[in-house]
Amino acid sequence: MRHTARELSGCLAMGYVDVVEQRWVALHEEESVPSTEHLRQAAGDLFRGNRVAPINGVFEQAPGAQGPAPRELLMVFDSLVHVLQRSPDDPDRVLVAVFRSSANLGVALIKTRAALEALTASEA
C-alpha cells in the first residue's frame, strides 16, 4: 500500500477499512489528511448503511440490476478526491484513497483498483 501510494501522483493517503469493526486494517498517509478519520467512519455508512438509500434505490430500479450495494465510489471535492472501493472477495473491506484534486482521476481509479486486487491477493 505504501508503495502504491507513493507511486501514485497526488495520492495523500491510502487505507484499508474493516467497515464492520470500523477499524483500519492498514493505513498509509503521505501527508496528514484531516478527513481520513471521517472517511474511516463514513466508509461503513457509504457501503452498508442507509445514507445512500436514494442512490441504492436508483441501482435497484435499473434494468437488470441485481440489487443495491455499489462497488466503487468516486467523490470529487474542491481540493480533494476520495476513492472508495469495496473488496469483491470480502464486502466488509473497503479500500480508501485520498488524492489532491489535481490528480488524474482515471489513473487514480485504475491504480486503486490494482491496489485492491493486490491487497485481496495478499490476504488470500
Partner 1 sequence: MGAELAFRPGAWVGLVARVEQTAGATGALVCEVDGRQLGSVLLERGRVCWAVTRSTRRRLSDLLLERSSDLTRVQLEAVYRLCRARSIPLGEELVRRGFVSPRQLREALVEHTSEALVHMAEADRATYRWVPHRTPTYSPKYTFDNLELTLRIGRMIHQERSDAAEARLAALGFPGVAFRVAEDEGVVLPVAVRDRDRIPAAHLPCEGPDLRALRQWLESHAGRESLRFAVWHDGEGRRVALVRTEMLLLVLWLDGASALGLLLARLANLPAVGDAE
CA distances from 38 to 5, 63, 64, 79 (A): 19, 34, 34, 16
Q: How many CA atoms lie within 13 A of 123 on its CB side?
A: 15
Instruction: Assess contact for 94 and 70: CB atoms under 8 A.
Output: no
When asked if residue 114 is in the footprint of partner 1 (CB under 8 A), the reply is no
Q: Out of 2, 6, 20, 65, point to the residue binding partner 1 (CB under 8 A).
A: 65
- Nearest approach in angstroms of CB 74 to partner 1 is 5
> Of the ranges 3-11, 17-25, 48-56, 116-124, which one interacts with partner 1 (CB under 8 A)?
48-56
Which member of 26, 69, 110, 114 binds partner 1 (CB under 8 A)? 69
Which CB atom, from 78 or from 121, has the smaller least distance to partner 1?
Answer: 78
